[in-house]
Amino acid sequence: MKTLLSVIILTICLSTVHDSKRNVNNRVPQFSRLINGNPTTIDRFPCMVALVKVYQQNSFCGGSIIRKYWVLTAAHCIVNNTKLVKESILEASDSFKNNQVIVRGNTTYDDGSEAYKSDHTVALYLFHEGFYKEGDKITSNDIGLLKVKEPFTGVYEKTISINYHEREPAYSPGWGRLQFDPVIRSRRLYYIVRYKVDHTTCVFHLAMRGVDAEGKLCVFSEYSTACKGDSGGPLIQNNLHLGIVSGGDPGCFVGNTDVYTNTSSYVNWIKSQIFKHESYIG
């Protein structure tokens, strides 16, 4: 197998955290998140935000601040995935259409318990017109944008640039359960360290699953993984945005290859959408 490029994934500002969380099971339930991650704080990842349903008050996806009013996330965090798979209808979920989603930043905990947390109203949601999903298979063009009404001005609400250097270390953050049975859910932000798979191996791996590698990155870690709920979060390197958590093993096995949307492949789409909707107030 080709050598894996040492690249670590993160959600914003780099910094090593010494605390860690370990899970001896190789398989974890698909509703768990950031398996075998390390606890961290928002000051280390200030570009990280949580997408929260107001009637649940906990995150279902993550995102990254890329402009004063803009968040980058995954398309499948925004669309009605059931309708897309069963009826081939590409539209936003009811939660977004009914204005029941907020963007929460400036906080280490996703449940709103911190006094200095900052909630932002979603003014506009956009997803790539070519987004496609088939059951549990990896998605294509899994990228979306959210524009908020209130600007990101919190102490720990910082933008992240889009680009990367292949051989530099990076991290992947998120909120979620530490254990499924019995349920132990963390409201605190965690991160995992991962490694980028070289392009040739990524193409081969995805071809074996019947998936086109265009616009995608493959990442690997022997003892940790992202899972459902981490979707939309960033792959970060030196405060540069590499990718968006998109898909992986439906059973969330550690040691398998996960797939991220390659941010650099969509720079023109991101810029065009922001330019087109910059004056939109909502």
DSSP-derived pairing of the beta strands 101-105 and 48-53: antiparallel
0.85 surpassed by pTM: no
Between 272 and 57, name the one with better pLDDT: 272
Break the chain into its structural domains and give their ranges.
Answer: 38-277
End-to-end CA distance of the chain: 50
- For residue 1, is pLDDT > 90? no
Q: Which CATH architecture has domain 38-277?
A: Beta Barrel (2.40)
Question: What confidence tier does 248 reach under pLDDT thresholds 50, 70, 90?
Answer: low
User: What pLDDT was estimated at residue 11?
Assistant: 35
pLDDT (tens digit, 9 = 90+) per residue, 58-113? 889 999 999 999 999 999 999 998 888 888 889 999 999 999 999 999 999 888 88
Question: What confidence tier does 13 reach under pLDDT thresholds 50, 70, 90?
Answer: very low
DSSP states along 65-111:
EEETTEEEE-GGGTB-HHHHHHH----B-HHHHTT-EEEEES-SBTT
pLDDT (tens digit, 9 = 90+) per residue, 112-122? 888 899 999 99
Q: Amino acid identity, residue 206?
A: L
